[in-house]
Amino acid sequence: MAVPPATYGASDRPPRGDYSVARDDYTCDQDWQRYTAAEHALFARLYQRQMRQVPGQACDEFAQALGRLGDGDRIPRFDDVSRVLRAATGWEIVAVPGLIPERAFFELLAARRFPVTVWLRRPDEVDYIVEPDVFHDLFGHVPLLFDPVFADYMQAFGRGGLKAEGLRSLQFLARLYWYTVEFGLIATGRGLRVYGAGILSSAGETVYALTSPAAQRLGFDLRRVLRTPYRIDEYQRTYFVIDSFEQLFEATAPDFTPIYAEVAALPPLPIDVRLEGEKLHPPNPARQEPVPQ
Ligand code: PHE
Ligand code: CO
């Protein structure tokens, strides 16, 4: 039985999905023929809803790459996505039954293979789902794999995960995944933008993350992130803001071995604390929603 990795949403429940069809590396066939018309329609509905959040709120790299996933009118064939992705950055996507063990997950990333869950959420889960499904994995994660710097970050993360496992430091590294890959914000000349997949695939978190006074937005600091626990069942109280993917890549390039030791010796931080002298980014001004026609 696969253990849900701390890296993308740990819980006590056994993961959903058919693991009997998985190979040793936990990949499986997408079996595209098996999706029903209703599933394709639900995917299209999710895609259209989330598309509306993209202009002016998602980072440019995400917005520009989104179209390369296909038309959004049905669940894409993973092979088609992989073909364009391979040509762009050498990444490919592989089908998995659902959450997979950490080691298998990191090994795939280290080989520039991104695992995408095959199943789609049920209609009663359109607004909220605890585990990643094909919509979250594809819409949320795959666009940024077209960005060369972010693509290299993800591979470095895979290698770093294998190393952290040996150092028993996965709980710290999981926080970095959470606050960057899943819930990261980026500062631009036009204000804050979202690059985290967990936000961009969520029904309401994009507007909240960018504009809510209930959250704090701190400048990215590696040690601070490694010390910050997270909740998986509510909107975040704290986001970390990078200035560029280059900054993120460079800040995470040093050997983490001594940094893990440092962080392990410190007490965990309360989830929404602000430490003295920390850089706070102001939220974007609340947007006037267009009047529905
Ligand atoms: N530099 C990290 C290490 O030595 C590896 C890493 C890179 C982890 C990028 C996450 C992201 O452990
Ligand atoms: Co995810």
pTM of the predicted protein model: 0.94
Of 130 and 30, the one with more pLDDT: 30
pLDDT at 6 over 50: no
- Count Cβ atoms below 10 Å from residue 55 Cβ, excluding itself: 8
Mark the residues whose beta carbon lies below 5 A from ion ligand 2.
Answer: 8, 132, 197
Tens of pLDDT, residues 205-245: 999 999 999 999 999 999 999 999 998 889 999 999 999 99
Q: What does the longest C-alpha to C-alpha distance in the chain come to?
A: 57
Across-strand partners of 194?
Answer: 58, 185
Angle at 275 between CA 204 and CA 181, to 5 degrees: 40
pLDDT, averaged across the chain: 93
List residues near ligand 1 (CB under 6 A).
156-157, 160, 163, 176, 252-256
Give catalytic status of residue 136 as yes or no: yes
Tens of pLDDT, residues 92-105: 999 999 999 999 99
Across-strand partners of 116?
Answer: 95
Measured in angstroms, how far is the CA atom of residue 288 from the centroid of ligand 1?
40
Structure tokens at 21: 């069809």
Tens of pLDDT, residues 24-83: 999 999 999 999 999 999 999 999 999 999 999 999 999 999 999 989 999 999 999 999
Which amino acid type is present at position 73?
D
Q: Choose the residue to mutate in 112, 149, 150, 163 for probing ligand 1, maximizing ligand atoms within 8 Å of C-beta.
A: 163
Helix axes 148-166, 170-177, angle to 10 degrees: 160
